[in-house]
């Protein structure tokens, strides 16, 4: 069985093509700058060289068409016919309260995805466009929606309710939804395999640290708390997002800076976080280099970033009443021993003791980085959201 996994953004389309017999990645790529004159695509067949070429992609339909030509007709082709594609799996950011699992896409599901536009205006419309484009270019091929929020639908009410008037929940569905659920679920499953223990017996904290960051408390395979909220803005400090702040700051800025709702949204989502504190960049690699070069603001950004992670780790150990493992993943979590060390510093009394040599050695690969005497294991596990989407798509197709 072969699965095409798609992740559609406003001006981009990422794709990965899997053979699920051995869960093998056959090809992957991206179409960037859709609708712009400078549009280009990258395509890589497993074991081959990546190619990058300019292209014409006026919309997602033409981008999907280009992907199919690369998979079937170019010198880099990997299939001979559309019928070799058993199913298409789509990343959909927001599923609201309606979706607690992945679903086979039909007209009703499409309408429900549209209803979530208001909660994810930067993501769901593009995810929707990708699905509709596939219906035109690949008619008859089953499609599955895999929601970022679905894994966190197991949160208990005390974890997802905000202390706002109840009417705002019933009228606008304002509550904690959480995101990065596909990544957190994959990491939990893989951690159980690495520990050789049943997932339904484990208490885990998973830290997804990239340009967007979130942390989840997972008990017996279910998410019971997570740092992102109604939107991906809440929680940890991120590349350009502020994370947790006092809500009164917003009314203060609206009063004294006369800032509009649109500008406020831009400030919190695109001008804050690591970028806002450092005044330099949202890229953690550059921040670490700047710290080494003596930049005080880069050091402040780094300290705030890691301190927030540490606070969440400690609080989730309390929520879970102890943990079996703490896991780091995503671009920063997988590649930065410094971030992991600072985030775990002085948590020995809570059962977390790193092995400095192991921590320094494990970069962009799986590994245990805790001391042999550490009550809780600390691991690095590279995430694979695309494979998780492919697995979910096969499971849904099999069920239906």
161 in a structural domain: no
315 close to 175: Cβ distance less than 8 angstroms: no
The yes-or-no verdict on residue 122 having pLDDT over 80 is no
Model confidence at 68, pLDDT cuts 50, 70, 90, reads confident
d(CA 204, CA 378): 10
pLDDT in tens, 252-309: 999 998 899 999 999 999 999 999 999 999 999 999 999 999 999 999 999 999 999 9
pLDDT at 368: 97
357 in a structural domain: yes
**Number of domains comprising the chain:** 2
Average pLDDT score over residue span 208-225: 96
d(CA 123, CA 91): 10
Nearest C-alpha neighbor of 397 from the set 118, 86, 93:
86
Q: Do 24 and 109 sit in the same domain of this protein?
A: yes
Average pLDDT score over residue span 222-238: 96
Q: Do 95 and 218 sit in the same domain of this protein?
A: no
d(CA 337, CA 23): 29
Q: Do 107 and 17 sit in the same domain of this protein?
A: yes
388 in a structural domain: no
Average pLDDT score over residue span 117-142: 86
Residues 282-287: contacts with CB under 8 Å, at least 24 apart? 282/211, 282/239, 282/240, 283/239, 284/239, 284/331, 284/332, 284/336, 284/339
pLDDT at 177: 96
Q: Measured over all CA atoms, what is the biggest interatomic distance in the chain, rounded to whole angstroms?
A: 63
d(CA 51, CA 40): 10
Angle CA(180)–CA(99)–CA(31) in degrees, nearest 5?
Answer: 50
Taking each helix axis from N to C end, the angle separating 124-137 and 107-115, rounded to the nearest 10 degrees, works out to 160
170 in a structural domain: no
Q: What residues pair up with 88 in beta bridges, in sequence order? A: 4, 143
18 in a structural domain: yes
pLDDT at 268: 94
CATH number at residue 94: 3.30.420.40
Q: Which burial class, exposed, middle or buried, applies to 132 when counting CB atoms under 10 A from its CB (0-12, 13-18, 19+)?
A: middle
Could you give the strand order of the β-sheet that contains 203-209, starting from the edge strand earlier in sequence? 222-226, 213-219, 203-209, 325-329, 377-380, 367-368
The yes-or-no verdict on residue 246 having pLDDT over 90 is yes
Of 65, 81, 148, 263, catalytic: 148
Q: Do 142 and 61 sit in the same domain of this protein?
A: yes
The yes-or-no verdict on residue 73 having pLDDT over 80 is no
Model confidence at 330, pLDDT cuts 50, 70, 90, reads very high
Q: Do 369 and 222 sit in the same domain of this protein?
A: yes
pLDDT in tens, 157-209: 999 999 999 999 999 999 999 999 999 999 999 999 999 999 999 999 999 99
d(CA 56, CA 53): 10
Q: Do 239 and 297 sit in the same domain of this protein?
A: yes
Q: Do 111 and 212 sit in the same domain of this protein?
A: no
Q: Do 217 and 289 sit in the same domain of this protein?
A: yes
Q: Do 109 and 204 sit in the same domain of this protein?
A: no
Q: Known catalytic residue: 303?
A: no
Model confidence at 65, pLDDT cuts 50, 70, 90, reads confident
Helix, strand and coil percent figures for the chain, each rounded to 5: 40, 20, 40
Q: Do 140 and 217 sit in the same domain of this protein?
A: no
DSSP H or E run through 203: strand 203-209
386 in a structural domain: no
pLDDT in tens, 365-395: 999 999 999 999 999 999 999 999 999 999 9
Range of the domain at 203: 197-380
166 in a structural domain: no
Within the chain, strands assigned E span 2-8, 12-19, 24-32, 40-45, 51-54, 87-92, 103-104, 143-147, 203-209, 213-219, 222-226, 325-329, 367-368, 377-380
Q: Do 127 and 226 sit in the same domain of this protein?
A: no
Q: Do 122 and 206 sit in the same domain of this protein?
A: no
Average pLDDT taken over every residue of the chain:
93
Q: What residues pair up with 28 in beta bridges, in sequence order? A: 16, 44
305 in a structural domain: yes
């Amino acid at each position: 069985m072969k699965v095409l996994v798609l992740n559609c953004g406003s001006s981009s389309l990422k794709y990965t093509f899997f053979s699920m017999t051995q869960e093998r990645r056959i090809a992957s790529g991206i179409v960037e700058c859709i609708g712009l004159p400078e549009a280009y695509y990258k395509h890589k067949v497993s074991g081959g060289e990546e190619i990058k070429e300019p292209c014409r992609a006026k919309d997602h339909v033409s981008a999907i068409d280009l992907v199919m030509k690369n998979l079937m007709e170019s010198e880099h082709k990997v299939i001979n016919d559309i019928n070799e594609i058993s199913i298409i799996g789509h990343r959909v950011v927001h599923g609201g309260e309606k979706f607690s699992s992945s679903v086979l896409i039909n007209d009703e599901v499409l309408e429900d995805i549209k209803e979530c536009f208001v909660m994810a205006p930067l993501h769901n419309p593009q995810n929707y466009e990708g699905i509709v484009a596939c219906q035109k270019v690949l008619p008859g091929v089953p499609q599955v929606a895999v929601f970022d929020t679905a894994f966190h639908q197991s949160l208990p009410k005390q974890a997802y309710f905000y202390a706002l008037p109840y009417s705002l929940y019933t009228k606008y569905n304002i509550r904690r939804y959480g995101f990065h659920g596909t990544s957190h679920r994959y990491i939990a499953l893989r951690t159980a395999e690495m520990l050789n223990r049943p997932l339904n017996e484990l208490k885990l904290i998973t830290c997804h640290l990239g340009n967007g960051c979130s942390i989840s408390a997972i008990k017996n395979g279910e998410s019971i708390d997570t740092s992102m909220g109604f939107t991906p803005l809440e929680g940890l400090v991120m590349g350009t997002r502020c994370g947790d702040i006092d809500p009164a700051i917003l009314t203060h800025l609206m009063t004294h800076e006369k800032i509009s709702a649109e500008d406020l949204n831009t400030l919190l989502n695109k001008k804050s976080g690591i970028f806002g504190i450092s005044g330099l960049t949202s890229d953690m690699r550059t921040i670490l280099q700047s710290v080494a070069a003596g930049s005080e603001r880069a050091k402040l950004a780094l300290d705030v970033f890691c301190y927030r992670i540490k606070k969440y780790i400690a609080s989730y150990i309390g929520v879970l009443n102890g943990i079996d493992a703490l896991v780091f993943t995503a671009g920063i979590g997988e590649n930065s021993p410094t971030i992991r060390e600072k985030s775990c510093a002085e948590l020995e009394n809570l059962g977390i003791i790193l092995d400095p040599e192991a921590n320094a050695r494990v970069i962009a690969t799986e590994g245990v980085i805790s001391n042999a005497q550490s009550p809780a294991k600390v691991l690095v596990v590279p995430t694979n959201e695309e494979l998780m989407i492919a697995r979910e798509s096969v499971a849904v197709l099999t069920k239906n």
